[in-house]
Amino acid sequence: MITKRLAWIAAALLAGCGVDVDSSITVDADEAETPDEFVERVNRELEELGTEVAAANWVRATYINADTGLLAARAAERYAEWLSRTAADAGRFDNQDMSAASARALHLLKLSTPEPAPGDAARRKELAEIATELPGMYNTASWCPEEGGDCLHLQQIEKIVAESRDPAELAAAWTGWHDLAAPMRPKYRRFVELANAGARELGYGDLGEMWRDHYDMSPAAFEAETNRLWDQVKPLYEQLHCHVRATLGDFHGEGVVTPAGPIPAHLLGNMWAQTWTGIYDLLEPYPGTQSVDVDSALQAQGYTPERMVRSAEGFYTSMGLPELPGSFWERSLLAKPADREVQCHASAWQIGWDDDVRIKMCLRASTADLRVIYHELGHVYYYLAIQDLPPLFQAGAHDGFHEAVGDAVNMSMTPAYLHRIGLLEGTSESYEATINRQMYEALTAVAFLPFGKLIDEWRWAVFDGRIAPENYNSAWWELRERYQGVVAPVPRDEGDFDPGAKYHVPANTPYSRYFLAFILQYQFQRALCDAAGHDGPLHECSVYGSATAGERLWSMLSKGASQPWQDTLEELTGTREMDARAILDYFQPLADWLAGQNAGRSCGW
């Protein structure tokens, strides 16, 4: 998870995490102010405000109590007011001559919140309240399977969905969680009205148009770009879907899974059917074959949380990137404290605008957590690389870049690398082990792609009115079936609000970044492997120890958001286009295997 600069500050505050902001920080419009002077002033104010907000959110995440919650709710409205006035004030420079850097900074300022507040104080307050209530409803929801019995929170329900193989039990758990989102529906409808009003005050037709304007191309061109990328990977997804459906049909019977239709969403091992690793045990191509699971080695060698982070740091420093600052080790939260409640969900933080970088995670000695910490340090090194840029430029080239860095590093955790650091005995893997590993990875990355695309496609249509409020749920499931080839396990209607059962919808977190990140991580990895002089299949490459690859990576990171992402991408990869062909190259062994398995089957839905 990324904890991201200005956009994160706004989103976190409106989600209910914040600080009692100093009311002396105001926007005092000076009509004689030049655009460059305005941008300089906003950067100063943002540096001061951002440091306070980030520090308070850190306390909120690592000391959960009523006091930090109260500060969060009060800060949300004040920060939204500051940001909306600042962004609106920037409009007086429209069509004026200014430096290219100032023009870019003003554009980024306008786009710095995913939910722009209306200028009217009453409507701004209402938006802040709804934007706090919706994720609050999600976070506090629980399902009570039996009247008078124990109620289950999301993590417990997810465990049922991941582990049960009983379709009836799975359907009950799936329905229990999704039904909890129905009360969000009227609030979400009002949220759309208010956020659209804020976007229109900034010159956009609706909030979705504003979101799509983040990508250094027109909103229409960006929508076309996501379609192009999806078309590149769709054939591989369809082959994976075909094999998974056939396997589930064999396991559950054709009365549960039809051989030519969509897959019931509750059978895929994940509450949202967004990744399918929960049913890997049913899909493992070669059971009992060597794997790269190193849990036993981590535990036998006494890996502590700090040692796991040191291992990740060692990967980055092997490429010539700097050691983490001393404050990182003093201030990070790496294990769950015994004396208080904390948010254990992994996240990377920058407190202020210097080298105060941190990790928040309750680490355990497991393969999964080791990979998460390697990923999170990708965010941390991004922060360190851009810390000398003006605050408005301290972000990824676009929001998919930040997530893709750590994911690309995870791809370098090959068997050869794990052997090199003493966590795996063998230096290579058999064909069977390669197919097993690629199947597991595909159940995450390839399975996720259509889900990653459709979340925002649904919202774009909600925001611009193509999906009317009375069709929220039917349109949701039409997209789920069209892109993912999944259907709800039980009948759903417009009394339900199934989009609200996914956190990012009530929290209003844009989702295209995750779709783009899964595309970019393979493109990044191929470019870094080329820089490292790798000669062989992409899935065998590790850039550990390559100073040349590290130099290329650091150069890309250091540009932040200071220039169009196309320029930054070209510097690393030699092309100005995002390209999903690297995914196809990486998964070629699995694609060939799937083609053999699917011979004679009727694929598609």
Reported as a single tens digit per residue, the pLDDT across 159-193 is 999 999 999 999 999 999 999 999 999 999 999 99
pLDDT score for 62: 86
State residue 73's pLDDT score: 61
Look at the domain 211-302+367-373+391-605 and name its fold: Neurolysin; domain 3 (1.10.1370)
Q: Specify the 3-state DSSP secondary structure of 360.
A: strand
In angstroms, what CA-CA distances link 459 with 84, 192, 204, 287, 453? Answer: 22, 9, 15, 41, 11
Q: What is the CA radius of gyration of the chain?
A: 24
- The residue annotated as part of the active site, out of 306, 345, 425, 431, is 345
Q: What is the mean pLDDT of residues 417-441?
A: 90
Report the 10 Å Cβ neighbour count for 463: 22
- Annotated active-site residue 153? The verdict is no
User: What confidence tier does 8 reach under pLDDT thresholds 50, 70, 90?
Assistant: very low
- Mean per-residue pLDDT, 77-94: 80
Total Cβ atoms within 10 A of residue 525: 28
What pLDDT is attached to residue 478?
98
The pLDDT value recorded for residue 119 is 84
Burial class (CB in 10 A: 0-12, 13-18, 19+), 230: buried
Ordered by start, the domain boundaries in the chain are 5-120, 211-302+367-373+391-605
Nearest to 399 by CA among 377, 429, 379, 373: 379
- Is residue 346 part of the annotated active site? The answer reads yes
- If one compares 92 and 71, the residue with the highest pLDDT of the two is 92
pLDDT-derived band at 11 (thresholds 50, 70, 90) equals: very low
Average of per-residue pLDDT across 533-545: 97
Per-residue pLDDT for 60 more than 90? no
* Biggest CA-to-CA distance, the chain: 74
* 279 compared with 53, residue with greater pLDDT: 279
pLDDT at 14 over 60: no
Is 178 assigned a catalytic role? no
Instruction: Say which residue the tokens 């009948």 belong to.
Output: 491
- pLDDT, position 5: 46
Q: In the annotation, is 33 catalytic?
A: no
Instruction: Give the C-alpha separation, 384 to 348, whole Å.
Output: 12
Instruction: Write down the catalytic residue from 243, 375, 534, 539.
Output: 375
Concerning whether 197 is annotated as a catalytic residue, the answer is: no
> Model confidence at 72, in pLDDT bands (50, 70, 90)?
low
- Of 52, 376, 441, 457, catalytic: 376
Percentage of residues of the chain with pLDDT beyond 90: 74
- For residues 597 and 243, the answer to whether their CB atoms sit within 8 Å is yes
Query: Has 345 been annotated as catalytic?
Result: yes
pLDDT of residue 83: 78
- For residue 465, pLDDT over 50 is answered with yes
Beta-carbon contacts of 603 under 8 Å, excluding residues fewer than 6 positions away, are: 238, 239, 241, 242
Rounded (5°) CA angle 559-563-568: 60
Catalytic member of 73, 182, 346, 416: 346
Residue 268: band (very low, low, confident or very high) from pLDDT cuts 50, 70, 90: very high
Higher-confidence position of 438 and 29:
438
- Render pLDDT for 353-411 as a digit per residue (tens, 0 to 9): 778 999 999 999 998 899 999 999 999 999 999 999 999 999 999 999 999 999 999 99
**What does the pLDDT read at residue 222?**
97
pLDDT value at 81 more than 50: yes
- Can 306 be counted among the known catalytic residues? no
Q: Is-contact 5 353, C-beta < 8 A?
A: no
Nearest to 343 by CA among 29, 92, 68, 19: 68
In the DSSP assignment, the letter for residue 499 is G
DSSP character for 425?
Answer: S
Report DSSP letters for 546-569, one per residue. Answer: -HHHHHHHHHHHHTTTSS-HHHHH
Q: Which two tokens stand for residue 181?
A: 């989102």
Rounded CA-CA distance 73/90 in Å is 27
Catalytic residue among 237, 511, 514, 586: 514
Which one of 241, 266, 379, 534 is the catalytic residue? Answer: 379
State how far the Cα of 151 lies from the Cα of 145, in Å rounded to an integer.
7
Asked if 4 and 402 count as a contact pair (C-beta separation under 8 A), the reply is: yes
Annotation says 403 is catalytic: yes
Structure token pair of residue 434: 């390669």
CA atoms within 13 A on the CB side of 68: 17
